[in-house]
Structure 1
Amino acid sequence: MSSTQNDKRLFLLDAYALIFRGYYAFIKNPRINSKGLNTSAIMGFMNALLDVVKREQPSHLAVVFDVGKKETIRHEYFPEYKANRDETPEGIKVAVPYIIEILEAMHIPVMYADGYEADDVIGTIAKQAEKEGFTTYMMTPDKDFAQLVSENIKMYKPSSRGNGVEIWGVDEVKEKFGVDDPIKIIDYLGMMGDSADNIPGIPGVGPKTAQKLLAAYGSMEGLYENLDKLKGKQKENVTNFKEQAFLSKKLATILTDAPVEFCEQKYNVDRPDFDKVKEIFTELEFRRMLENLYRTYGVEDKIDENKPDIYTGDQMSMFATNDNEEIVVSESGFRTIETEDHFYQLVDSPMGRSLLLKKLLKQKEVCIDCETTGLNALEAELVGLAFSYEAGKGFYVSFPEDFDEAKAIVEEFREVLESPEILKIGQNLKYDMKVLYKYGIEITAPIYDTMVAHYIINSDMRHGMDVLSETYLKYKPVDIETLIGKKGKNQKNFRQIDIDVQTKYAVEDTDITLQLKHIFNPMLKEVEANKLVEEIEFPLVGVLANMERNGIKIDVDALNQMSAKLADELGALEENIFKAAGSEFNVNSPKQLGEVLFDTLKIVKKPKKTRTGQYKTSEDILVELKDKHEIVNHVLEYRQIQKLKSTYIDALPNEVSPKTGRIHTTFAQTIASTGRLASNNPNLQNIPIRTERGREVRKAFVAKDDNHVLLAADYSQIELRLIAGMSGDEAMTTSFLNGEDIHAATAARVFNIPLEEVTRTQRNHAKTVNFGIIYGVSAFGLSNQTDLSRSESKDLIDIYFETYPRLKEYMDEQIAFARQHGYVETLLGRRRYLPSINSANFVVRTQAERNAINAPVQGSAADVIKLAMVKLHETLKDYKTKMLLQVHDELVFEVPKDEVDSIQPIIKSTMEEALTFKIPLVVECGIGNNWLDAH
């Protein structure tokens, strides 16, 4: 490539390919802003756009859309072209106008041609630019563009699923498609067809066959000139489908004569209109994206120092006195501590603290926030404590390094922090509770946690204070990293920061949090969630803080012994793998494993590949192939053992606190949209219990000493009991009320046999359907989980719904309710919003429909165990028994042996009676020296 060509680099972005890719990248966790707008597609596209601008620094740039008439010239000769495609998801339809508006504000040309596809426009511009000395990069994941590749036209495939960016030149296209010239990709696609575009191709011709035919005959035309050299079914298909073959080639050909013209000056990468982009990003609530934009274009966060931005938002103002008042904001688009009047006062004398205490005791609510030396609440030292009770004002109490001196100062505020008359407000109060507990203070009810409140209001958004402040207050708080530096050896702790800076930062937090509380209060009322937060979620904050402080003991020696044993098993398995493969290789390398399985052993004819051409060897792929060769089962077992060893057996000892000798997991209350708790550092909820080795890990969780035991209390089939009661299905309800084995009873009804004649296999099939039905199990899913064929699975599901007809009606009612209201809710009123429930896109809609069915059930189960935890927490105050863990539907306690007989029935009855329900909830308790024995 000449230096001139290097300087003239044109990037053409395939808009819809990148928009769809961005949308589906977030499909499991959509980006929803505070107004309920799905911004996934916009965010995904903008990430790709800014990445290429930053990474490649193109001299020229354009984005090309499929727009104008729905019908293209290809429909004239093949009306069924792309007829198999689903309706465009609403999330993308809504996104496109925003994306076009952003591109216009960024001065990036938007290109299209009526009646032509984006492919044709890109092909036309690329060829024209090539003649003018440009190197053109077609940014798209679509393989069809490979036909356009030449010395100066390349494909630029954006990074995906952990794989980096790929640039395909002539050599790469030849290698990946097995052709001797990129132009032959047209023949390649024409022969094999393309199901995505509904291009039929020649029956029986796939990628490998197309490559062989092209190698032998050079082109589609060459193939038909040599029909006499073909044999059997292949000759028959090629002969009979000649017209279809040439039609497919025509459909697959990207046109290079679309009615567009390349104008070099028009495509220059220009400086965006930052004010306009900022306005759009503010509406979309793209906080980080704005900063990314500035960094990408290499400008400071100040666009026009002489012209401050104006915001006239409809949310509560930070310190507004008049709703119609224009409020000056910083050049970043948000108001900041520099733009606002505030009164943040340092209190560092005994007299000052005394006066502050008197003021605080007169308040009905006080916002608090601890500043510490680190993020680990159980180890961090208290540096300062901030208080706010009025917007724009607050106080900061600093603490000396000496623990006893600091404890004495904290003690002065006990009356406020433990007052049953004062509402304590905070953002992530659990952290503050754990910190203050070390200093002898136990924050008591009533409390109000803004992070938890917002989670109930909109579980799909993030709930960090910075996000909430920027979204609801249009105020950008001071970034802690600007004060202490980024994480690493040079990062300061908060005590090393200037005291005046400490004061501003700490009080700003309480000030913001206090105002967020007043915004969220009416919002909680609007979604009818006051009872949920007041009776479950807010009280649970203190329960979880207590459990995290308690921690649990593990037997490190037992884990080390397990690790050594598993290392030997891995070594033996590796030998078996090498023996089956006929050679040694790196079992942990997906690339090498794929080559062994599919090139050397050839265990299947048409192995699946990733987009980069590498063989797929993920677990789901290998499970499908486990009967094809003995090596597959060895590899699956090897991976299972290795994951268990690295994730738990070798990792858990590193999580033991040097201060307590116990593991202290953190329970996340605001992660799962269903309401379930999550466990982090370490994650104790994913310890496998279905395998013998996995269960052995639980054996290492032990009671503190010989005078204690672990008690595990587990709700039995709670989700089935809940869906039976919520649906009112008579047959299922009768089984539970009669104390029958629900899976055996289901099998007896489904297979129409007496209960006593149900086999183990029949019961297992019924169990799979019973639990799977809550999650919308399909015939395909059921056949993968059992030894049933897909048709047998479909028959079983059909009979199941005939057996439990009211259950099917209930599921349909849930979907209908979601369609009408946009959400579903649990027995206790927890809502799960489903903005995609009316999507015309089948995949998106059916996912929302499954959530409409399982969210009320999963969420109700989560509500029940949370309610039980809150009640047990109060009960256990009169005992030495401690609640340690919550894992799925199970609670784990550490019980003195002399309390076992008295506390076990209390735990059981409290959990079973946590919620009055038409079907009895049943709890099974077990006791042992370790978690496995107790479970």
Structure 2
Amino acid sequence: MADKQHLYLVDGSAYIFRAYHRLPPLTNPQGTPVGAVYGYTTMLWKLAEDLDKAEGPTHLAVILDKSSQSFRNEIYDQYKANRPEPPEDLVPQFPLIRDATRAFSLPCIEEPDVEADDIIASYARTAAAQGWDVTIVSSDKDLMQLVGTSEAGGTIDMLDTMKSARIGPDEVQEKFGVPPELVGDVLALMGDSVDNIPGIYGVGPKTATKLIQDHGSLTAALDAAPDMKKSKLKERLLEHRGDAELSRVLVTLKEDCPLPMPIEEMKLSSIPPEPLAAFLSEQGFNSLLRRLQGGSSAPGPTTRLHPAKPQNKGEAHAPEGNRQPLPDMPAVDRGAYECVQTPEALDRWIDKAFKARLVAVDTETSELDCMACDLVGVSLATAPNQACYIPLAHFNVGGGGEDMFAEKPQQVPMDVALEKLRPLLESDAVLKIGQNLKYDVNVLARLGIAVAPIDDTMIISFALDAGRSQDGIGGGHGMDELAQRHLGHTCLTFKEICGTGKKAIPFGEVALDRATEYAAEDADVTLRLYTHLKPRLAVEGGTRIYERVDRPLIPVVAGMERHGIKVDREQLANLSERFATETKRLEGEIHAIAGQEFAVGSPKQLGDILFDKMGYKGGRKGKSGQYSTDQAMLEKLDAQGAPIATKVLEWRQLAKLKSTYTDALQQAINARTGRVHTSYSLTGAQTGRLSSTDPNLQNIPIRTEIGREIRQAFVADDGNVLLAADYSQIELRLAAHMADVAPLREAFAAGEDIHNRTAQEMFGEVDRDTRARAKTINFAILYGISRWGLAGRLGIEPDEAQALIDTYFARFPGIQRYIVNTLETVRERGYSETLFGRKTWFPRINSKNQAERQGSERAAINAPIQGTSADIIKRAMARMGPALAAAGLKPDEPDGVRMLLQVHDELVFELPESLVEKATPVIQRVMVEAAEPTVALSVPLGVEIGTGQSWDDAH
């Protein structure tokens, strides 16, 4: 037994909502929703295991909220008034979550009319006063008020299990800028929109912190307000003093609640298996039951989790994915990993991988840029907990860093290790599995190793669950998040290993034992994710999109990143200089119109000038209390004839182009290759489009003169030219096919100008004005635009815009049928689907929140069309290399045809000028036929091709 008692208090309510959002809806054999119960059970199990291995925990209790009302509602009836009701499918899970806690034989404490935070505070203070140490398992900012040391020597800290981070007084000070005892004062000033605590309007975290730092307390800050110089802040402090004082009462934790159970009875001991086994069996959690029984088969009838099904049409959908329970495998044991430091040990692992026929691979490097980094080490995994790390370029911690005198630990020489690994990594007989494997492919390709064949857990996850995260933006495919969601495991973070800020060290200086835990865990977790995710492809209909579209693209995109593209540094420098001169001139003109100097780049200062000083109407303030000066607002003022808005829009465009492109592109030139190497994300957009970063080459303005000048800086090597191949109006063509719009299909088949045809159908005549309006309408309708949105784009009244929408649907009824059918399908199933079977999930399509629901509806209308367009160009990219090779055009060779960029519907190649005539028909054929034979389109695809010395010349 530990010398000192240590009580752990688990904020169970936070666990519940984390568990609910972690997994898709699931039901038990009785048909009751249990997705949150399952996630909660795995999270609580992991916590219990972690605490069992740790030194110190002696007592533990889980604290839950019993009701939504507390004494604070009597003080302030609007307290938590804005909080939505819990989701309908979560409500029946609350009793089961309590059953789960008790199945672990852990105290489960809840009291009517008392919040869980107050119960935690009362237990924490009581235990600390008796000299106990207390750890609150939560990341709730309100509970940070409790952190510190009692007079009896008992400490109170917090444990954020999501980040595996301890929160003590130093961490609280870093977060709030004040010690824990003053956190309540900061919270009272800034308020809390979630709990509807008023605070002082317009006072955010930074201002609140500074006020408390300057004056020492809330009361002192409020008392000092009358003597402050005239300002908005002074007015707010004086006007809303009562709100702040009320808020201070609301955020103060009640520390003297009656304790339902004496702390001595919360003693932490081994978990009796019988109650837990009975609970797991009843809920159908068979993989957890087998884990409890040490891997043996579960007794009794076979049960399993089932995807939840909506009861009636129109109810919140229940995604059918994730039918598989968590993999039946042992918990992650970092102590089981091996550090490979001899050629003999490396041979043994390579032999093991060959016998396993598959191996998870991960690289550790000196930096994130795969084209500039150095290889530091390689990790392999062949089965759960059977993983190793092969250090190749480590220096001992404290050895002086990477210099000639630094002492190196024993390692396999780099050249020896690479030659031994090459046959394994290039063998067709062994599948290489990675997480974002494109990065590792590029690192190893620079060292002469062509990794193949491959599978990628990040891409598999994307093929299954794009858009499925609760925020609906398509994120959530990183390894750490996947490990949490699917395995219930928290991975070591890079910051934990290498530190942060000035104390951070390169990975090559991390001690080998810690480096092994981190690196080998990456390979181990990747293998576990693969074991879980890959079978889901066949079950959930994701095999076709993954195998025929996404997986073949990985090596193709990796090759494009390695090729890079040449830019003219001198031309970029000249543009930067010119943009700087132009922005300076515009600043002067803006100041002259405003009648004073101010920071044009400051939204706050600009808002005050526009709406307070100059008196323009329509200004709106956000929660921060400052006026909105976003693009839409400035364009609105510009349309009203405000010259200052016109100048600011022009200034912003130039400033953005300078910082984002002309300056950034110069800095992005690789010193070794002399080219710019963008990084493509295959999971960056939930519809399946590629996204480009570091630098982003996909947002350069297309139709402006300035955009053209930037594209002129992208050039070919001497003797070569750039070739740009662009799909012509592909989304409109796909809409004509998918919505079966006969007039549009006929127009495309006849090679007509589609906007002319729409203008004729809509307005009865074609001229410059009607064609421009038709073009706007064509694209806007496909993006589910509202009457107000179309009115804004065309500069007309909403009623007139609605009339145009009605006319469009009357002329092209297939488009309206497509929209209605698409929305009905997505509302029922929860996802849209491209012609190639790519699913995009919309978790908020049935939200009661109008803005969330309408946003999802607009995205759902366009997703099948934009997603199909993305699938088609991806198929073209994957087929391009073999087609060029068959034509003798040597793809990937400096003197052949190399594909360099993909920008939306366009592919950019570099090739010798002498090969243009031979390459053009090959490129055009591959792009035109990319959908075949999987999809036979009723509308021909058009491809426009141009060449030139620069990217702009090729258009």
Output the TM-score relative to the length of structure 2.
0.68
Compute the displacement of 1:862 (Å). Answer: 0.9
Question: CA–CA distance in 2 between the matches of 1:391 and 1:262?
Answer: 49
Residue identity matched to 1:391:
P
Question: CA–CA distance in 2 between the matches of 1:272 and 1:492?
Answer: 48
Superposition CA RMSD, Å: 4.8
1:763 paired to 2:783:
no
1:473 paired to 2:487:
yes
Matched pairs, number: 735
1:751 paired to 2:771:
no
Equivalences for residues 704-719 of structure 1 within 5 A? 704-705=717-718, 707-719=719-731
Gaps of 5+ in 2: 1-13, 27-34, 41-63, 99-107, 120-183, 212-217, 300-326, 395-403, 405-410, 470-475, 891-895
Quickly say closer, same or farther: Cα 1:262–1:722, change in 2 above 3 A. closer
1:586 alignment counterpart: 599
Q: Equivalent of 1:383, from 376, 387, 397?
A: 376
2:117 alignment counterpart: 108
Residue identity matched to 1:746:
T
Quickly say closer, same or farther: Cα 1:760–1:803, change in 2 above 3 A. same
Q: Equivalent of 1:802, from 804, 810, 822?
A: 810
1:453 paired to 2:457:
no
Question: CA–CA distance in 2 between the matches of 1:927 and 1:493?
Answer: 44
Quickly say closer, same or farther: Cα 1:90–1:799, change in 2 above 3 A. farther
1:344 alignment counterpart: 337
Compute the displacement of 1:94 (Å). Answer: 5.0
Compute the displacement of 1:92 (Å). Answer: 9.0
Equivalences for residues 798-877 of structure 1 within 5 A? 798-877=806-885
Query: Is contact 2:118-2:257 (8 Å) kept?
Result: no
2:324 alignment counterpart: none
Residue identity matched to 1:915:
A
Deviation readout 1:608-641 (Å, 9 max, x if unpaired):
2333443332221111111333222112211111
Query: Is contact 1:158-1:164 (8 Å) kept?
Result: no
Question: CA–CA distance in 1 between the matches of 2:853 and 2:695?
Answer: 35
Bigger drift between 774-783 and 587-596 goes to 587-596
1:201 alignment counterpart: none
Deviation readout 1:849-893 (Å, 9 max, x if unpaired):
222211111111111111111111333455111111111111111
Question: CA–CA distance in 1 between the matches of 2:448 and 2:550?
Answer: 24
Compute the displacement of 1:516 (Å). Answer: 1.3
Question: CA–CA distance in 1 between the matches of 2:696 and 2:833?
Answer: 27
1:672 alignment counterpart: 685
Residue identity matched to 1:814:
T
1:322 alignment counterpart: 296
2:551 alignment counterpart: 538
Gaps of 5+ in 1: 1-17, 44-61, 76-80, 111-133, 187-255, 276-302, 326-333
Bigger drift between 673-682 and 348-357 goes to 348-357
Question: CA–CA distance in 2 between the matches of 1:441 and 1:687?
Answer: 34
Query: Is contact 1:558-1:700 (8 Å) kept?
Result: yes
Compute the displacement of 1:502 (Å). Answer: 3.4
Question: CA–CA distance in 1 between the matches of 2:811 and 2:491?
Answer: 58
1:33 paired to 2:40:
no
1:684 paired to 2:697:
yes
Query: Is contact 2:884-2:897 (8 Å) kept?
Result: yes
Q: Equivalent of 1:492, from 505, 526, 533?
A: 505
Compute the displacement of 1:740 (Å). Answer: 1.0
2:530 alignment counterpart: 517
Tell me the secondary structure at the aligned position of residue 442 of structure 1: coil
Aligned sequence identity (%): 36
Question: CA–CA distance in 1 between the matches of 2:904 and 2:598?
Answer: 39
1:566 paired to 2:579:
yes
Query: Is contact 1:911-1:923 (8 Å) kept?
Result: yes
Quickly say closer, same or farther: Cα 1:267–1:361, change in 2 above 3 A. closer
Equivalences for residues 342-741 of structure 1 within 5 A? 343-399=336-392, 406-444=414-452, 446-460=453-467, 461=469, 462-486=476-500, 488-604=501-617, 607-626=619-638, 627-705=640-718, 707-741=719-753
Query: Is contact 2:924-2:943 (8 Å) kept?
Result: yes
Deviation readout 1:528-575 (Å, 9 max, x if unpaired):
011211122112111111111111111111011111112222222222
Compute the displacement of 1:440 (Å). Answer: 0.9
Question: CA–CA distance in 1 between the matches of 2:549 and 2:634?
Answer: 43
Question: CA–CA distance in 2 between the matches of 1:341 and 1:633?
Answer: 60
1:11 alignment counterpart: none
Quickly say closer, same or farther: Cα 1:850–1:632, change in 2 above 3 A. closer
1:926 alignment counterpart: 946
Question: CA–CA distance in 2 between the matches of 1:162 and 1:859?
Answer: 44
Equivalences for residues 893-908 of structure 1 within 5 A? 893-908=909-924
Query: Is contact 1:90-1:839 (8 Å) kept?
Result: no
Question: CA–CA distance in 2 between the matches of 1:87 and 1:381?
Answer: 50
Question: CA–CA distance in 2 between the matches of 1:421 and 1:555?
Answer: 44
Question: CA–CA distance in 1 between the matches of 2:518 and 2:83?
Answer: 49
Query: Is contact 2:188-2:251 (8 Å) kept?
Result: no
2:145 alignment counterpart: none
Quickly say closer, same or farther: Cα 1:306–1:156, change in 2 above 3 A. farther
Quickly say closer, same or farther: Cα 1:169–1:527, change in 2 above 3 A. farther
Tell me the secondary structure at the aligned position of residue 947 of structure 2: strand
Compute the displacement of 1:179 (Å). Answer: 10
Question: CA–CA distance in 2 between the matches of 1:263 and 1:846?
Answer: 35
Compute the displacement of 1:723 (Å). Answer: 1.3
Residue identity matched to 1:34:
L
Bigger drift between 402-411 and 451-460 goes to 402-411
Compute the displacement of 1:342 (Å). Answer: 6.7
Question: CA–CA distance in 2 between the matches of 1:393 and 1:143?
Answer: 45
Deviation readout 1:7-47 (Å, 9 max, x if unpaired):
xxxxxxxxxxx9xxxx9xx9xxx9953325999xx99xxxx
Deviation readout 1:621-678 (Å, 9 max, x if unpaired):
1111113332221122111111111221112111111111111111111221111111
Compute the displacement of 1:804 (Å). Answer: 0.4
Quickly say closer, same or farther: Cα 1:262–1:424, change in 2 above 3 A. closer
Quickly say closer, same or farther: Cα 1:750–1:400, change in 2 above 3 A. closer
Compute the displacement of 1:836 (Å). Answer: 2.4
Deviation readout 1:672-711 (Å, 9 max, x if unpaired):
1111111111111111223211221111111122x11111
Tell me the secondary structure at the aligned position of residue 478 of structure 1: coil
Tell me the secondary structure at the aligned position of residue 642 of structure 1: helix
Tell me the secondary structure at the aligned position of residue 911 of structure 2: strand
Query: Is contact 2:721-2:948 (8 Å) kept?
Result: yes
Residue identity matched to 2:923:
I
Question: CA–CA distance in 2 between the matches of 1:309 and 1:629?
Answer: 74
Question: CA–CA distance in 2 between the matches of 1:411 and 1:387?
Answer: 16
Output the TM-score relative to the length of structure 1.
0.69
Tell me the secondary structure at the aligned position of residue 836 of structure 2: coil
2:928 alignment counterpart: 912
Question: CA–CA distance in 2 between the matches of 1:264 and 1:371?
Answer: 47
Bigger drift between 476-485 and 630-639 goes to 476-485
Question: CA–CA distance in 2 between the matches of 1:815 and 1:506?
Answer: 45
Tell me the secondary structure at the aligned position of residue 711 of structure 1: strand
Question: CA–CA distance in 1 between the matches of 2:665 and 2:828?
Answer: 47
Question: CA–CA distance in 2 between the matches of 1:369 and 1:416?
Answer: 14
Quickly say closer, same or farther: Cα 1:339–1:653, change in 2 above 3 A. closer
Tell me the secondary structure at the aligned position of residue 810 of structure 2: helix
Quickly say closer, same or farther: Cα 1:307–1:65, change in 2 above 3 A. closer
